[in-house]
A = this chain, B = another copy of it.
């Protein structure tokens, strides 16, 4: 483990000043004679020169790292988002640090602090915190922020939203169009804007048709873990079936939960979709792998990640882009878990 070679080492070896070496090795447009340039280049190769980005950044205050803060990459939705972000980042020679906030505002704060300390200048975040002071300090520090999934009401923060309300409406409407009138909605704790919007879309659609809503909400604090969502789905389904007049269709606030719904029904020998129809929300790939294939609302995760990263890089390149927002539209993925009443 010997010390890495620096531009000074090369300068000495090439009998030039370190300034000249720097000019060559940092792809500066500064003119350097062909002879020296070539000598320096070959020497750098030979001596295994690796630029030290710390030094470079300390000087230039440009960072090639972006931070991504999401609740949990155990949730396939967020791992797709992260994957999309990383793909675009990679293509632009940026690197991504992955942070799981686990729905804990304190952890989120901690990550933001770290990001500030590491002089990172771009962040994509699905925020759980309602405290905006951290965002203000990021912006003051020149950090560009893109909010995905969960809206942040704050100037200078661009949003990539998803129309959850419309998604909730669309799913409910679809079940109605298949002749269902007793439509249950199962949801984990309605503690975030996105959850509220889906619920509100459902309520609205029910009201519009003069139907009585059947909502079961888990009060459990969130653990973003596929299995816990699954179990919640089972439990809430059991509750729904315990009602005097059970539903003929069940709408779940996410796909994992829908899997739980289907499982609970199967265990009770209730056939899906012949006896009860099920619709999910997310559109993760796994939905195509279960039996029956899950009809669901597609939320473009991977695309959302790519979009967010593009937007972020644009802003960081100082293109002085107007802070536009994007609202992605829901799409119905009709597969096999819904049948006419």
Contact = CB atoms under 8 A, between A and B. Distances in A.
Contacts of A116: 50
A53 interface: yes
A119 interface: yes
Interface residues of A, number: 58
Contacts of A90: 99-100, 107
Interface string A79-96: 110110011001001011
A119 B54 contact: yes
Contacts of A83: 72-74, 100
B2 A140 contact: yes
B141 A50 contact: yes
Contacts of A285: 226-227, 230
A42 interface: no
B141 A118 contact: no
Interface stretch (A30-38, A207-215, A256-264): A256-264
A114 to B, nearest CB: 6
A52 B137 contact: no
B141 A1 contact: yes
Interface stretch (A235-243, A245-253, A288-296, A319-327): A288-296
A17 interface: no
B86 A52 contact: no
Contacts of A291: 262-263, 266, 290-291
Interface in A38-97: 48, 50-55, 57-58, 65, 72-74, 76, 79-80, 82-83, 86-87, 90, 93, 95-97
A97 B97 contact: yes
A16 interface: no
Contacts of A118: 53-54, 65, 95
A74 to B, nearest CB: 5
Contacts of A50: 113, 116-117, 141
Contacts of A142: 1
Contact of A97 (B98, B260, B289): B98
A119 B116 CA distance: 18
Nearest to A78: B79
A83 B26 CA distance: 36
A340 interface: no
B51 A117 contact: yes
Contacts of A259: 289-290
Interface string A4-18: 100000000000000
10 contacts: A2-B140, A50-B141, A52-B117, A58-B58, A74-B83, A86-B100, A96-B98, A226-B286, A227-B288, A230-B288
Interface of A: 1-2, 4, 48, 50-55, 57-58, 65, 72-74, 76, 79-80, 82-83, 86-87, 90, 93, 95-100, 107, 113-114, 116-119, 137, 139-142, 226-227, 230, 256, 259-260, 262-263, 266, 285-286, 288-291
Given A87-B100, A256-B289, 7 more contacts: A1-B141, A90-B99, A90-B107, A93-B114, A96-B98, A226-B286, A227-B288
